[in-house]
Structure 1
Amino acid sequence: MRSVIEASYFIAAILFIFGLKRMSSPVTARGGIVWAGAGMVVATLVSFLYPGMGNYMLMMTAIFIGGVLAWYSGKKVAMTDMPQMIALYNGMGGGAAAAIAAVELFGGEDHGLVFGTLAVLGGMIGAVSFSGSLVAFAKLQGLMKRNFRFPGQQVFNLLLLAATLATAGYIVLAHADVNTVAIFFLLALILGVTMTLPIGGADMPVVISLYNALTGLAVAFEGFVLQNAAMIIAGTVVGAAGSLLTQLMAKAMNRSLANVLFSGFGEEAGEASEVSGSMKPIEAADVAVMMAFANKVLIIPGYGMAVAQAQHKVWELTQLLKSRGVGVKFAIHPVAGRMPGHMNVLLAEAGVPYDIIYDEDEINPEFPTADVALIIGANDVVNPAARNDPASPIYGMPILNADYAKNVIVIKRGQGTGFSGIENALFFLDHTRMLYGDGQAMASELINEVKAL
């Protein structure tokens, strides 16, 4: 029986890795999710075959409740709310790892130095990921309207981390009682909260990928404790992928992970150079003429498109322009939105073909030959201050070179700044015009105006 279990876990691990590989491309991502899901089914079912396993009814009840809740929420959640759902599911994974550690540690069994260390590390990381992800969910869902900061907060977090690690060490070396274990988990949960509270919304893509990596690491550690090959392999793969993604997201913002966690970027306005000039409004009818008779239009979506749920109207506008012979492409910045790949998910949900969606490196050379760059809901990721102003807080961040286009149209609700808190120099350029209004409403108006030509 043991050989059957190990073989099944090996098959599950292969399915996890194969599924993750297919998730690397939007074209095959859906199939990747199915393959990884099949691996999870195999790993879950074979767990029932473990020698000495009991409480089958309780296990089946828990699986049924969790499965129904996941299926219902997955069917009902809006695509614009996907970042919150990802944050919540990350937290559940971390919480599960912490729960496994809690069962082992509260049981009072002596696991030895190595396995005891892995158990407390997995429990601490899982608890931090759980509570931190819940805070991220609250921020993304709008339940938490502002960032919380107080003097000496970083010092407090460091002291809290030290206290958590010291308690963990005491548990491993002295085989502490249940009260000490409870204090350990409480400290870890508080640490996750205090780490995430001051982080602004602009940094949520990095935070989500970081907690994803931490969840994978926690699962892998607990897999070693339980001697469960599937948990070890799956957790390691998720942890490695999440770590790489976190690094890529931070690089796309030209910032270090420490800067994301401790700088307060997005909360206070930066000291960028003063922007001269004024924002120049334009009417939808004039934009429609400009786009309808263009040769090439590049569309840059941002979080504002997600808020307005304008992706379907934007795709309808794209189809209308393409029917008139206009070449239309979408330009995606890696950190646009509230999670990695947020814009890709929204455009895919609207039915936009993958072959007209381009990332930053692929599309930037095409801006000088574009007749119109249409920006809908994007701000900091198109700010030329990141390229031209060394005094800007976002200086050095790779951006989409929308200012190189012959004409720039910005669909925006008002004249507010982006999450960095600085003015966007692009909006004040001579060849930039502002189309003020809700993204979906303005896209609909553009559709009507183009049809009327």
Structure 2
Amino acid sequence: MTETFIQLSYLLAAGLFVLALRSLCHPDTARRGMHMAAIGMLIAVAATLLHQRIVTYEWLAVGAVVGAVIGYPLGMWVPMTAMPQRIAFSHAFGALAATLVGIGEYIHSYDTQHLTQGHVLALGFEVLLGALTVTGSLMAFGKLQEILPGRPVTFRGQNVFNLSLFAIGVACLVWLIVNPYDVWSFVAICVIGLLVGILLVLPIGGADMPVVVSLLNSYAGLAAVATGFALDNNILIVVGALDGASGFILSIAMSKAMNRSFSNVLFGAFGSAAGEEAAVSGAKGDMAPISADDAALRLAFSRRVIIVPGYGLAVAQAQHQARELVDLLEKRGVDVRFAIHPVAGRMPGHMNVLLAEAGISYDKLVDMEDINQRFTDTDVALVVGANDVVNPAARTNKSSPIYGMPILNVSDSKSVIVLKRGKGAGFSGVENDLFVSPKTSMLFGDAKQSLMQLGAEVKLA
């Protein structure tokens, strides 16, 4: 009877997870989706606590308390600007849990002499992918947090070495299937997984870290699937499959938005010295500065304005000042919209969440495909901290590292005002042709302060 109740609870939880993913497809229902996912996880955990294999709850209680102490600050106090690295850090913990479960299950089955070929296949696959995700996620966290160098770190024959090492790990897994009680093969799989995770992320530049994090999320999901098969746990299989598939789809979407292939992301060392040389010889011309009062006058007497938010807005925490400026312009009858690039910020949806947090209506946030045709009829495009996603070189310069990347057609606007801290290149290291265009004016300074100045001047206009 208890087992039936557990399986029915798992079925209910799985249904809630699927509905949650569906709800997350639209901003209006995203909050409800998160609530459904949380309820589904609560049901799944509560049902698992009734499992007959659990003989004592003391250590589970300790783990719950420790997890809450770590998780609450991560959820409440980490700023939106640090969300990508927080997610990478969370992936590392999830993958570590899967890896430790695999190790523990192998030790338990080894002691009880219940190892079978199918069992060790699931356990070996789980530990290999889990260990890889642990160190890979920590490397991604380090690069995003700038603890580690954001540039690619390469050496001669790196790709061949990495693939050979991974092949050795697979060979150890095959040997373990043939000889389930060969402990050293299992240890080798774990160690190789940890090394591959480090070496896989080492040659990838900081600009590609969001794709890497998403791909590692997919690996963690596959590890969870293997855990489910090893433990005969249906909810782990379902949730792991959802996680693995959604992470893979997101990685494809992000690569497409940057006009990059998986092979190029994983093996291309984007942002290397060659890329830096291209950046130096990129855009030609001088940036034309503008004062806050002149920029405000141009905005105040416009008919249509499109604001393009980027990572600079997130770093400055200027979303509330952006909303205040929008309110002031709309009171003057100006039509204002936000143009959202798929990879604006450091992850898909980063700008949407940031602007929604400031109370900006969802209907003002327009995706790239829908907003691009509006730029030709736009009086002023206000670029706030965005760089690579508005660079015309992606369309015009075949020698540019970002050539072919889908961009926002800001250069089609009648005039452009760019809010930027300094004259540096974007995250990819590529100079921006838009910034030296005759129709572009640069308002240098912190984005929050610049938006506050614009708001104050619009009031006086």
**Residue equivalent to 2:239:** 234
Contact residue 207 and residue 427 of structure 2 kept, 8 A: yes
1:193 aligns with 2:201: no
State which of 381, 385, 398 in structure 1 corresponds to 2:389. Answer: 381
The alignment's TM-score, normalised by the length of structure 2, stands at 0.95
1:143 aligns with 2:151: no
Report the Cα offset of residue 47 of structure 1.
1.1
Report the Cα offset of residue 351 of structure 1.
1.6
**Residue equivalent to 1:14:** 15
Contact residue 268 and residue 421 of structure 1 kept, 8 A: no
**Residue equivalent to 1:42:** 43
For the residue of structure 2 that corresponds to 1:374, the secondary structure is strand
For the residue of structure 2 that corresponds to 1:28, the secondary structure is helix
Contact residue 303 and residue 336 of structure 1 kept, 8 A: yes
**Residue equivalent to 2:458:** 450
Residues 189-198 or 362-371, more deviating: 189-198
1:71 aligns with 2:72: yes
Report the Cα offset of residue 353 of structure 1.
1.2
Change (3 A) 1:268 1:377: farther
Report the Cα offset of residue 274 of structure 1.
4.3
Equivalent residue runs for 1:91-240 within 5 Å? 91-107=92-108, 108=110, 109-147=113-151, 148-240=153-245
For the residue of structure 1 that corresponds to 2:27, the secondary structure is coil
Equivalent residue runs for 1:248-327 within 5 Å? 248-270=253-275, 271=278, 274-327=282-335
For the residue of structure 2 that corresponds to 1:49, the secondary structure is coil
Spell out, residue by residue over 1:95-153, the C-alpha distance to the aligned partner (whole angstroms, 9 max, x if none).
Answer: 22112211122332554333322221121111111111111111222222333222222
Gaps of 5+ in 1: none
Q: Give the distance between the partners of 2:300 and 2:149, measured in 1 at CA.
A: 40
Q: Which amino acid aligns with 1:244?
A: I
Contact residue 308 and residue 382 of structure 2 kept, 8 A: yes
Q: Which amino acid aligns with 1:13?
A: A
Q: Give the distance between the partners of 1:97 and 1:52, measured in 2 at CA.
A: 18
Spell out, residue by residue over 1:261-298, the C-alpha distance to the aligned partner (whole angstroms, 9 max, x if none).
Answer: 11111233534774333211111111000001111111
Spell out, residue by residue over 1:382-404, the C-alpha distance to the aligned partner (whole angstroms, 9 max, x if none).
Answer: 11111112222111111000000
Report the Cα offset of residue 356 of structure 1.
0.2
For the residue of structure 2 that corresponds to 1:144, the secondary structure is coil
Residues 249-258 or 100-109, more deviating: 100-109
Spell out, residue by residue over 1:341-398, the C-alpha distance to the aligned partner (whole angstroms, 9 max, x if none).
Answer: 1111211222211110011101101100010111111111111111112222111111
Spell out, residue by residue over 1:202-259, the C-alpha distance to the aligned partner (whole angstroms, 9 max, x if none).
Answer: 1122112111111111101111111111111111111111111110100111110110
Structure 1's consecutive aligned runs of 4 or more residues displaced over 4 angstroms after TM superposition are none
Q: Give the distance between the partners of 2:356 and 2:81, measured in 1 at CA.
A: 12
Contact residue 275 and residue 425 of structure 1 kept, 8 A: yes
Q: Which amino acid aligns with 2:173?
A: A
Contact residue 106 and residue 178 of structure 1 kept, 8 A: no
For the residue of structure 1 that corresponds to 2:149, the secondary structure is coil
The alignment's TM-score, normalised by the length of structure 1, stands at 0.96
Report how many residues are paired: 453
Report the Cα offset of residue 69 of structure 1.
2.1
Q: Give the distance between the partners of 1:238 and 1:344, measured in 2 at CA.
A: 22
Gaps of 5+ in 2: none
Residues 142-151 or 321-330, more deviating: 142-151
Residues 206-215 or 357-366, more deviating: 206-215
Report the Cα offset of residue 176 of structure 1.
4.3
Q: Give the distance between the partners of 1:28 and 1:267, measured in 2 at CA.
A: 41
Q: Give the distance between the partners of 2:26 and 2:386, measured in 1 at CA.
A: 23
Q: Give the distance between the partners of 2:458 and 2:56, measured in 1 at CA.
A: 64
Contact residue 375 and residue 410 of structure 2 kept, 8 A: yes
For the residue of structure 2 that corresponds to 1:73, the secondary structure is helix
Q: Give the distance between the partners of 1:452 and 1:142, measured in 2 at CA.
A: 42
Change (3 A) 1:23 1:98: same
Q: Which amino acid aligns with 2:42?
A: V
Q: Give the distance between the partners of 1:421 and 1:141, measured in 2 at CA.
A: 18
Q: Give the distance between the partners of 1:250 and 1:6, measured in 2 at CA.
A: 38
Contact residue 301 and residue 343 of structure 1 kept, 8 A: yes
Q: Which amino acid aligns with 2:294?
A: D
For the residue of structure 1 that corresponds to 2:85, the secondary structure is helix
Report the Cα offset of residue 75 of structure 1.
1.4
Q: Which amino acid aligns with 1:102?
A: I
Q: Give the distance between the partners of 1:178 and 1:274, measured in 2 at CA.
A: 55
Q: Give the distance between the partners of 2:315 and 2:350, measured in 1 at CA.
A: 12
1:393 aligns with 2:398: no
Q: Which amino acid aligns with 2:340?
A: I
For the residue of structure 2 that corresponds to 1:163, the secondary structure is helix
Q: Give the distance between the partners of 1:262 and 1:415, measured in 2 at CA.
A: 30
Identity of aligned residues (%): 46
Q: Give the distance between the partners of 2:347 and 2:3, measured in 1 at CA.
A: 41
For the residue of structure 2 that corresponds to 1:27, the secondary structure is helix
Q: Give the distance between the partners of 1:450 and 1:267, measured in 2 at CA.
A: 43
State which of 359, 363, 367 in structure 2 corresponds to 1:355. Answer: 363
Spell out, residue by residue over 1:298-350, the C-alpha distance to the aligned partner (whole angstroms, 9 max, x if none).
Answer: 11111111111111111111111112111111111111111221111211222
Report the Cα offset of residue 27 of structure 1.
1.5
For the residue of structure 2 that corresponds to 1:331, the secondary structure is strand
Equivalent residue runs for 1:431-450 within 5 Å? 431-450=439-458
For the residue of structure 2 that corresponds to 1:132, the secondary structure is helix
Q: Which amino acid aligns with 2:365?
A: I
Contact residue 110 and residue 175 of structure 1 kept, 8 A: no
**Residue equivalent to 1:57:** 58
